[in-house]
Amino acid sequence: MPRTSQTVVVDAATAETMLGPRRDVVEEREWTAADDEAGPGPAWAATDPAERAGAGEAGGDPAGGAGGVRRASFALVEGPMARYRRDVEAAPLPDGTVRVVETTRYRLVLGPWSVAVDLPIRSALRRTDRRTRRYQPVWAPPDPLDERAGTILGLLLTLSLVIGYLSTVLTQTITYAAEEFGRGTTAQGTVLAIGRVGVLLSLVIVARSDRRGRRRLLLASVGLGVVATVAGAFAPTIEVLGFTQTLARAFATAATLLLTVVAAEEMPAGARAYSVSVLTMAGALGAGVAVWALPLSDIDPRGWRILFLLPLLAVPLVLRVARRLPESQRFVRPHRDATLLKGHGRRLVVLGAALFCASAFAAPASQLLNDFLRDERGFSGARISLFTILTSTPAGLALVAGGRLADRRGRRLVVAIGVAGGAAVGAWGFTTAGWPLWMANLLGTMLGALAVPAMGAYGPELFPTAARARANGVLQVMSVAGSALGLVVAGVAKDRTGHLASGMFLLLPLALLVAVLALTLFPETARRELEDINPEDDLPDPTPTPGWP
């Protein structure tokens, strides 16, 4: 089990604080005899004997000191750990200071994703200040996760990684597939647009989850998405490729929607946008795998097909998640039936219009970027890969910042600045070359990423449990309709003028309209419980929620 140990010399007040339960990044209570049966053994068993003797364990009083050695042990009340124990030993020194030896043992519940936060967690646990008041580091959600929420988030991150690849592989390879099949930019835009028709199938899937539950349909969607993507490797024509990827996109879209719904229903009120941000980062990592594998397309005119076979490697991951992921606790709880239009029609129209407009610009800006770089700027596959990695990877920081800002400061302003600012800079980038092109794409991507967590959180927040998945399915249809329009407009404009920038500037006003809608018509949902936003879900639960795990 991971462990962090430190020996510090502090003043008496700080030592007194360290000898008490902490309430900062975790919340503790005193260790009891009952904890000895289930918890880890004494932390001192693994500590160097000389260090313990130096702290006064053997003699009771430190050499030259006054008073005895004090010891304390603490267990976890709240925090994203499955097992936890902190042991403290404090010995006064002759000069009035206190020598404190502290060892904390813990096991994070994020699964393989724990590696990404282990060092920051260690650093936070070693702090000697701010221990008596709630404190969440800048990289953490404003509201801390408990064991159940942390475990579920880790499982959802794994699924998001897989879904990110499934959703991106066609976008990254369409220009190479079109070249093998002898087709142009209009055909590419049409295939990408038709692929979005699969959102209608995803609407059917997510609508059923309001009756049947989230878990089973989420896992089935991921599995079928893998199958449909692999089928694309054997497509004899661009039309067949489009058909297989229409199915793959439908399943990936349904899985993405259900991921967001489960996250909203499981995470604390002050961590919903944050969870969307880290899920998006995991999806972006999956998309990055497709980008990193893109040079395989330069090996041979048919090399792009290899990328459609890679999802087979994800099958063991999906099976592992299937064994551990529970049903959403809010779906299990009693809740009233609800319809979309009665009491929620205005929310649906306003948010749907915003998603339509945002997607009309964002879809061609990202999905025709490779074609722009290849045809208008002469980039090779390797250079496109490098460009995408260097200009998109920093957006991960913006995602986390956007999620934290949306949870702490509110959603509306973050959406307005992110969408409008990112679109304006992005459109300008299509008119540039050289280093301004790289900088414009970097800045535009980071600004756009700020808005992603807030927009992603709005969908499940604004609708009750009995209609939450259905509402998000309808919103996705509206978003995909916008992206289809944008792809067709941008593709036709480029074929007629030879420049993608002409199409992007035609679509820019739609992105700017999103800022107006966000500032004037969007409600504020930050740090509000879902039952407060949707009173129909505020029913007493006659049975306690099953324990975790």
- DSSP collapsed to 3 states, 269-321: HHHHHHHHHHHHHHHHHHHHHHHHCHHHHHCCCCHHHHHHCHHHHHHHHHHHH
543 pLDDT more than 60: no
Question: Average pLDDT, stretch 209-215?
Answer: 94
More confident site: 190 or 292: 292
More confident site: 80 or 66: 80
Q: How many CA atoms lie within 13 A of 132 on its CB side?
A: 8
Given pLDDT bands bounded at 50, 70 and 90, which one contains residue 413? very high
Q: Residue 541 has what pLDDT?
A: 59
pLDDT digits (tens, 9 = 90+) for 340-389: 767 788 999 999 999 999 999 999 998 889 889 988 998 887 888 889 88
Q: Residue 40 has what pLDDT?
A: 47
Please state, in angstroms and rounded to a whole number, the distance separating the CA atoms of residues 126 and 7.
10
Ranges for all domains in the chain classified under CATH 1.20.1250.20: 148-528
Sequence letter at residue 519: L
Q: Residue 174 has what pLDDT?
A: 84
Query: Considering only 56-70, 74-88, 314-328, 458-472, which range has the smallest mean pLDDT?
Result: 56-70
Topology of 148-528 in CATH? Growth Hormone; Chain: A; (1.20.1250)
148 pLDDT more than 80: yes
447 pLDDT more than 60: yes
Q: Residue 464 has what pLDDT?
A: 93
pLDDT digits (tens, 9 = 90+) for 26-42: 999 999 988 876 644 43
Given pLDDT bands bounded at 50, 70 and 90, which one contains residue 542? low
548 pLDDT more than 80: no
Question: Average pLDDT, stretch 212-240?
Answer: 94
Average pLDDT, the chain: 87
Given pLDDT bands bounded at 50, 70 and 90, which one contains residue 18? very high
User: Closest Cα partner for 492 from 189, 196, 200, 245?
Assistant: 189
pLDDT digits (tens, 9 = 90+) for 48-72: 433 333 333 333 333 333 457 999 9
The 8-class DSSP code of residue 535 comes to G
158 pLDDT more than 70: yes
pLDDT digits (tens, 9 = 90+) for 118-140: 999 999 999 988 787 777 788 88
Percent of the chain with pLDDT over 70: 91
The 8-class DSSP code of residue 67 comes to S
Q: Residue 495 has what pLDDT?
A: 87
How many whole angstroms from its chain centre is CA 245? 24
Given pLDDT bands bounded at 50, 70 and 90, which one contains residue 160? very high
Percent of the chain with pLDDT over 90: 60
Q: How many CA atoms lie within 13 A of 335 on its CB side?
A: 24
CB-based contact 97:39 (threshold 8 Å): no
Given pLDDT bands bounded at 50, 70 and 90, which one contains residue 540? low
Q: How many CA atoms lie within 13 A of 248 on its CB side?
A: 27
How many whole angstroms from its chain centre is CA 432? 31
